[in-house]
Amino acid sequence: MDSDEDDRIPLSQRPEWSDVTPVPQDDGPNPVVPISYSKEFAETMGYVRAVYLADERSHRALQLTAEAIHFNAGNYTVWQFRRLILEALNADLHDELEFVEHLASKNSKNYQLWHHRRWVAEKLGTEAAGRELEFTKKIFVNDAKNYHAWSHRQWVLQTLGGWEDELAYCDELLEDDIFNNSAWNQRYFVITRHPGLGGIEATRDSEVSYAVKAILTKPENESSWRYLRGLYKNSMPSFVMDRRVSTVCLTVLTTKANCVFALSLLLDLLSNGFEPNQELKNAVEALLPESRDQDSDMAVTICSVLEIVDPMRVNYWRWRKKSLHSEVEEGVRNLRVH
């Protein structure tokens, strides 16, 4: 748009605006945080204020809001007014999608832009699903973790559909970058909300395999560990009984010797009534320096190890150790309830 700046004709010189008197900004006498607007910015906003106050919902007003938005995409009042104009004119919203797309590359983290996009897509309905999913994909090429884009994508899936290829898309992203937590979050979103997958109960098994594989590939990746734990969010008994969980902990502990995440997951297992076998006990005890006392309670030992190998969270592990008693009580009680 830089070249356009030189070509811009001041509004005061455009014949189609000759009947309008711009309304100056009313900051008062000695405002704080005053901004030194450029002449062009100030002029544009002066005319915007005029049509806004007159509630003029015309084509020229629509064009004017576009200019204002280019100057400041954060002006939610102008965006909202634009929506009113689009409705009044019964405008072709496909053009509106184009408008947003042109702004998106330089404003990809702008709340108003994404909210507007959602509004347009909702009006267009299910026919827009494909295009919306493509739009977010384009954003992900440059920033695979763009928060707004992910929220928009989720909204599209839930409201307009298009679930078919979503899990496969997550696979793709995770192949590119297994540390992409947004993609992991999206996986969770799909397995819990995809109307055709049967919910988390039906998908848990294959997802556990997927998570375990990811963990073994990159044991230092927090995302996969949290995902694994998350699969058992409201089913502690299944969590405790799934051998694969304790097995992956054991594998990582013995091959990598130090894995905070493996120890942490093991701690969770124990807090929920898991009974460790001798192999696990040995693996954990091997991590404790000889000078230290083992505790008969493996959970306590794990906390002690974590205090040493994860010094940033030493106070947290100390607090976990102190809370163990009530933690385990509650965990075991939950088990019994089920």
- The catalytic position among 109, 123, 218, 256 is 109
124-139 as b/e, with b when 16 or more CB fall inside 10 Å? beeebbebbbebbeeb
Q: Counting contacts by CB under 8 A, is residue 30 touching another protein?
A: yes
Residue 104 near residue 73, CB atoms below 8 Å: no
- Residue corresponding to tokens 């008062």: 28
Q: Counting contacts by CB under 8 A, is residue 46 touching another protein?
A: no
To the nearest whole angstrom, how small is the minimum distance from the Cβ of residue 329 to another protein? Answer: 8
To the nearest whole angstrom, how small is the minimum distance from the Cβ of residue 39 to another protein? Answer: 10
Rg (CA), the chain: 28
- Name residues contacting another protein, limited to 83-142 (CB under 8 A): 83, 111, 114-115, 118-119
Of the pair 178, 308, the CB lying nearest another protein is at: 178
Stretch that binds another protein, among 14-22, 45-53, 128-136, 274-282 (CB under 8 A): 45-53
Q: Which residues contact 287 (CB under 8 A, 6 or more apart)?
A: 253, 257, 258, 263, 305, 309
To the nearest whole angstrom, how small is the minimum distance from the Cβ of residue 48 to another protein? Answer: 10
The amino acid that residue 185 corresponds to is: N
- Name residues contacting another protein, limited to 156-215 (CB under 8 A): 158, 176-182, 185, 188-189, 193
- Name residues contacting another protein, limited to 294-323 (CB under 8 A): 311-316, 318-319, 322-323
322 is catalytic: no
Of the pair 220, 294, the CB lying nearest another protein is at: 220
Q: How far is CA 38 from the centre of its chain?
A: 36
Give just the sign of the alpha carbon dihedral 233, 239, 243, 246.
positive
Between CA 216 and CA 324 the distance in angstroms is 28
To the nearest whole angstrom, how small is the minimum distance from the Cβ of residue 275 to another protein? Answer: 21
Of the pair 77, 209, the CB lying nearest another protein is at: 77
Please list the active-site residues. 109
